[in-house]
Amino acid sequence: MNPAYISAVSMLLGSGIGALASIATTRLSQRHQDEIRRRTQEHARRERIFVEFIDLSSDAFVDALQHTSIENPSKLVPLYATMGKLRLFASEQIVAAAEKVMEHVIETYYAPKLDFQTRPTVDSSSDVLREFSEQCRVELGGFSSSQRRERRVSE
């Protein structure tokens, strides 16, 4: 075989291998960036749903403190809808804590009402959203730290 051919074939094979390595590296980098973007969007979605649940359950709780029964059930529909979103996107611990909040709100409608003219005793049981908020912080915090680790690895 002619040495010129060997040299030309070697050069072509080297270029091909270099091109394949470049393509593989680009594809892996793009896949990793897409995964980080997807997780960031998932984190933002969960955060929005958690905040929405906190807002709606707070409104429902205030309404429950003011009324002796559920006079307008449509006030609870958005809260139930958000509960459904939580079941889709949140962990079991978050859903369990949210169900406790819902139960507490419903019970408050039928419980004896507070006298707002005198100062009521306030203890940890009066914070209906505490457990839910703490569970959300744990879930969002764990999600953020895993994202930070992945970003450090990719850099």
**How many whole angstroms from its chain centre is CA 3?**
63
Cα–Cα distance, 100 to 61 (Å, whole number):
13
Residue 155 has pLDDT above 50, yes or no: no
Q: Bigger pLDDT: 21 or 125?
A: 21
Contact in structure between 136 and 94 (CB atoms under 8 Å): yes
What proportion of the chain, given as a percentage, has pLDDT over 90? 55
53 domain-assigned: yes
Three-state DSSP string of 18-68:
HHHHHHHHHHHHHHHHHHHHHHHHHHHHHHHHHHHHHHHHHHHHHHHHHCC
Residue 150 has pLDDT above 60, yes or no: no
Cα–Cα distance, 44 to 59 (Å, whole number):
23
Residue 67 structural domain: 40-154
Residue 35 has pLDDT above 90, yes or no: yes
Instruction: Please report the pLDDT score of residue 32 as a whole number.
Output: 93
59 domain-assigned: yes
Amino acid at 45: R
21 domain-assigned: no
17 domain-assigned: no
Instruction: Please report the pLDDT score of residue 74 as a whole number.
Output: 87
Average pLDDT score over the chain: 85
Instruction: Please report the pLDDT score of residue 151 as a whole number.
Output: 47
Residue with tokens 């059930």: 73
56 domain-assigned: yes
Give the total number of structural domains in the chain: 1
What proportion of the chain, given as a percentage, has pLDDT over 70? 82
99 domain-assigned: yes
75 domain-assigned: yes
Residue 121 has pLDDT above 90, yes or no: no
Instruction: Kindly give the residue spans of alpha helices, DSSP state H, lying in 67-121.
Output: 77-89, 92-110
Residue 146 has pLDDT above 60, yes or no: no
Instruction: Please report the pLDDT score of residue 141 as a whole number.
Output: 87
Q: In this predicted model, what pLDDT tens digit does every residue of 50-107 receive, in sequence order?
A: 999 999 999 999 888 888 888 888 889 999 999 999 999 999 999 999 999 999 999 9
Cα–Cα distance, 54 to 72 (Å, whole number):
20
13 domain-assigned: no
- Evaluated on CA atoms 112, 114, 115, 120, the torsion sign reads positive
SS3 category, 83: helix
Would you mind telling me the total number of residues written for the chain in this entry?
155
